Amino acid sequence: MTRQLAALVLFCVIDTLGFGMLVPLVPYMADRFGTAPQYITPILGSYSLCQLLAAPWWGRLSDRYGRRPVLMSSLAGAGVSYLLLAGAHNIWWVLASRLLAGCMAGNLAAAFAYAADVSTPQNRAATLGLVGAAIGIGFTLGPPLGGLLAGGDPHTANFTVPALASVCTSLSAILLVRLVLPESHSAAQRRAHPGGPRRRSWRLLRERPTLALLAASTLLVTYSQSILESIFAIWALHRYGFGPRTVGFLLFAIALPALIMQGGVVRLVAPRVGEARLASGGALLYVAGLVTLGCAATLGATVIGLLLCGVGLGAYNPSAAALASRQSAEHDRGAVLGTYVASASLARVLGPFTSGPLYAGLGPAAPFLIGACVSLPAVWLVRRARRALTGGEIP
């Protein structure tokens, strides 16, 4: 592993650790302020709505001005949003925090672009899988750590301490970028392609049909994932009476197998079977996990469903991202990956805005089962993308 890649991996761990610590807490904060489930999940979706609008813009900025300024600017904004959350005394403060955090969420698109910059086409899937594993470490350790800092009782949980801890992780990540991480997109490369950053997301999708197929597939998978993530804490509270600590450790059951897949299995399997087969197989496993959750009658079945979801997502996400990166050139990689990430952001808007109403209107199993039905066509879309790639389509 090169020094650049090692620093990027550490950055992704620290960054997503801060975000992950708050994942199991926001629904409990909203519930404490008397917010109904059908309104809690849209508050979670407000983050992704702003991210959807901001991610392509951040990607184009990283193509024009470099990856490091975007990483540091977006991290500073995230730190301010965590401060707002730490001081929240009503639901409007929580909403303001989520809106600001979404607007400043340019770090992941820039991080993936950085990883693509420092890798070759032959090892890009492995490199993106390593970055995905680093992100997975943050999301693996973040929820249980946030739950431990908040406490196990949903009525007395402390939300200020985890939010302030997230501020500290943002500051640490900024220092890491400033002191250790070199720029991967040089000034010469930016000057050589001054027109690249001006291309709009819809034009990229129209010009590159394979990218559009992969973006659509990721939209479907991420939509169901956002349903799962946004409703799970509420579902666990009502079903088992679990507080933030227990929910954090249950979310660990998704994050850990995803981490193992992205950090090791994908790097070994992708060169043998190909990213497209790995992505479609991962989508099928994820569907099986959602069906298991929807039909689960015991805690054991719930854990099995979460494990299947984690393995499926761990296979799908880095493989699909590697396929998407093939649709970029050196000068527009940030814009292409920003557009690809924007498809996931759109899904993360739609999921929370629908999961609460589905849960309240159709019952506790409905979000999981509907998510499984929505994710299934992703297998067909990835296979179509694979046929386009093997047929010689060049971005």
Residue 268 has pLDDT above 80, yes or no: no
State the Cα torsion 31-350-231-370 to the nearest 10°: 150
Token duo for residue 116: 């693509």
Tell me, what amino acid is at 84?
A: L
Query: 393 falls in which pLDDT band (50, 70, 90)?
Result: very low
Q: What is the pLDDT of residue 196?
A: 46
Cα(320)–Cα(340) distance, rounded to whole angstroms?
10
Tell me, what amino acid is at 390?
A: T
- Which of 75-79, 124-128, 170-174, 372-376 shows the highest mean pLDDT? 372-376
> Do 261 and 356 form a contact (C-beta atoms < 8 A)?
no
Query: 198 falls in which pLDDT band (50, 70, 90)?
Result: very low
Residue 329 has pLDDT above 70, yes or no: no
Q: What is the pLDDT of residue 201?
A: 57
Query: How many C-beta neighbours within 10 Å does residue 361 have?
Result: 9
What pTM did the predictor assign?
0.71
Cα(188)–Cα(276) distance, rounded to whole angstroms?
34
- DSSP states of 63-122 as a string? HHH-HHHHHHHHHHHHHHHHHHHHT--SHHHHHHHHHHHHHT--HHHHHHHHHHHTS-GG
CA proximity to 94, closest of 140, 151, 54, 44: 44
Cα(67)–Cα(63) distance, rounded to whole angstroms?
7
Query: How many Cα atoms sit within 13 Å of 322 on the Cβ side?
Result: 31
Tell me, what amino acid is at 263?
A: G
Cα(243)–Cα(326) distance, rounded to whole angstroms?
43
User: Coil, strand, or helix at residue 326?
Assistant: coil
Cα(309)–Cα(302) distance, rounded to whole angstroms?
11
Cα(339)–Cα(221) distance, rounded to whole angstroms?
16
- DSSP states of 147-187 as a string? HHHH-S-TTT---HHHHHHHHHHHHHHHHHHHHT---SS-H
- DSSP element (H, E) containing 53: helix 37-65
User: Coil, strand, or helix at residue 395?
Assistant: coil
Higher pLDDT, 157 or 223: 223
Residue 61 has pLDDT above 90, yes or no: no
Q: Which residue has the tokens 């093997």?
A: 390
Cα(310)–Cα(314) distance, rounded to whole angstroms?
6
User: Coil, strand, or helix at residue 322?
Assistant: helix
Which has the minimum average pLDDT: 12-21, 48-57, 188-197, 239-248? 188-197
> Do 185 and 268 form a contact (C-beta atoms < 8 A)?
no
What domains can you pick out in the chain, each with its CATH number? 3-178+197-390 (1.20.1250.20)
